[in-house]
Amino acid sequence: MAINTLGFLIFVALACVIYFIVPKKIKWLVLLIASYVYYFLASGKLTVFLIITTLSVYLVGLGLNKIDENIAEKCKQLEKEKKKEAKNKAKSKKKLLILFAVIINFGILLILKYSNFLGGNINSLLSKLNVNFTIPKFDFILPLGISYYTLQAISYVIDVYRGKYKADKNLGRVALFTSFFPQMTEGPIGRYDDLAMQLYEPHKFNHLNVKNGMLLMLWGYFKKMVIADRAGIFVNTVFADYANNHGIVMLVAVILYTIQIYAEFSGCIDIVRGTAQILGINMAENFKRPFFSKSVQEFWRRWHITLGTWLKDYVFYPVSFSSACVELTKLSKKISKNYLSKIVPAAFAMFFVWFGNGIWHGASWKYVFYGLYYYVIMMLGILFEPVFKKIIGKLKINVEAKWYKFMQMIRTTIFVLIGMLIFRSKSLTSAFRIFKSIFNMDNISMLFNNKLFNIGITTEDFIIIGIGVIILFVVGIIQEKGIIIREKISKRNIVIRWILYYTILLVIAIFGIYGPGYAATDFIYGQF
């Protein structure tokens, strides 16, 4: 039951009605049952993996609590030196528990999602070494949202280990946190201290929450059904026959794919957050107008924010404070005390972040390359930052000038377009081939003879996409100024408000892509 179906809307309506009419004490139970019903309808028997993840982090959390309680009681009776020894032993036990949780949960993810990728590469290596052994391939079906709920669950136990909060003794609360149905398709990746209590606490029917939530959902469906799915038809048509396409056709396909994936992913998050808001629950923001970014670093602070912060908190910082990184820092300072010595340790930690970002997206070398592509760009930017500053100073360029910021946005967008090309291509080989073919612009005339605008979709479809992008851009400009549009709308005259609501609804109904074959446009990030 995808969130872009009528079935999902009916499911949400029923869940909300039941949630608001039942007694306060069991409201959380309604959400838990609804979440597991939804998940079972989507994944069937594969729900067992979600249960394993939930039980493992719940039990490990309780184990961490127990160790902390025992050591606190024990230290009351010990001398100072003995206390230190006892705390170190307790820390070792806690590390073993965390390792167990990580192995169980990432092990499941590794087997289901990455086993064929790893097996294929090992087989290739063994073949080159003339070893007569082959690892068999398995066609595993991925449970819905496994990449999202795994990271979410792991963050919970690591935070307990770090002492950010005590492990929750309520299994139902932990289960609801890992399974809350709106977020299972594409996130966002929530944190326990921010989300769990919101899910567990009873929320009354609130007219404003319902209105704003539904408006956010409509905005998400507009992005998905009017813009993304229409652009996707052109993109799929061109990339399916990339060997026979080049120049302006491939360039437009890459641009439209970038528009598609943004409109779709951010649209999905809007639907998810809108659904949660109807219930009185505020979920983490995952996008903040990324195409207004003036650098690749800023782009990734605005794009898929919850994944970025997860990698920062649970990969970057642990690697930065690891013994290997500490030794590397010392070594780099001995060799050089200039700007370079500060970069090397950061480069070491960032490598793991961007390798993780790449491989998280999928079991393919193209995804690894995708992550490392951004890593290289960022590191080059950091490395040459002093040079760029000197050049800007000598040229007396006003970095606050609007034209300069606009050029920065264009530069960032070009880097992102190249990244999206890699992301969309079937393989690294095809990505390089497509990139090369774009520079062959002998078909530029297709822009003027209408042939370009009749590949998969019509000229009218291109106009609709264009208008949709303009609307996204204008809304983005308003939001960049700190204006909350939904609040502004709610303050308008009731007639104006309802005209606007019905206009959006009619636009989706008239111009949305749906009906037979709609499953072909399922959410892209739902695959990860």
| Residue 14 in domain | yes
pLDDT of residue 525: 62
Domain with 334, as residue range(s), is 308-404
Q: Quick check: 273 and 212 in contact, CB under 8 A?
A: no
Closest by CA to 297, choosing from 360, 375, 351, 233, is: 375
Residues 292 and 412: their CA atoms lie apart, in Å, by 9
Q: How far apart are the first and last CA of the chain?
A: 17
pLDDT of residue 222: 93
Specify the pTM. Answer: 0.92
Same domain, 170 and 97: yes
248 and 351 together in one domain:
no
Q: Is residue 46 part of a domain?
A: yes
Q: Do 187 and 70 have their domain in common? A: yes
Q: Tell me if 469 is assigned to some domain.
A: yes
* Whether residue 150 sits in one domain with residue 15: yes
Residues 189 and 53 in one domain: yes
Domain boundary among 149, 171, 204: 204
pLDDT of residue 509: 81
Q: What pLDDT is attached to residue 519?
A: 44
Number of domains in the chain: 3
pLDDT score for 108? 94
Does 396 share its domain with 456? Answer: no
Identify whether 366 is part of a domain.
Answer: yes
Query: Nearest 5 degrees, angle CA 138-CA 144-CA 150?
Result: 90
Which of 348, 374, 404 finishes a domain?
404
In this structure, the answer to whether residues 46 and 163 fall within a common structural domain is: yes
Instruction: Note whether 44 and 124 are same-domain residues.
Output: yes
List, for the chain, all residue ranges whose pLDDT scores fall below the cut of 50: 516-520
Q: Are residues 218 and 334 in the same domain?
A: no
- DSSP output for 62-128: HHHHHHHHHHHHHHTTS-HHHHHHHHHHHHHHHHHHHHHHHHHHHHHHIIIIIHHHHHHHHHHHHHH
Q: Is residue 53 part of a domain?
A: yes
pLDDT for the residue 286: 95
- Residues 141 and 189 grouped into a single domain: yes
179 lies in the same domain as 228: no
Q: Which two tokens stand for residue 257?
A: 């794919």
Whole-number pLDDT of residue 386:
86
Q: Of 404, 433, 452, which one is at a domain's C-terminal end?
A: 404
Per the domain annotation, does 417 fall within a domain?
A: no
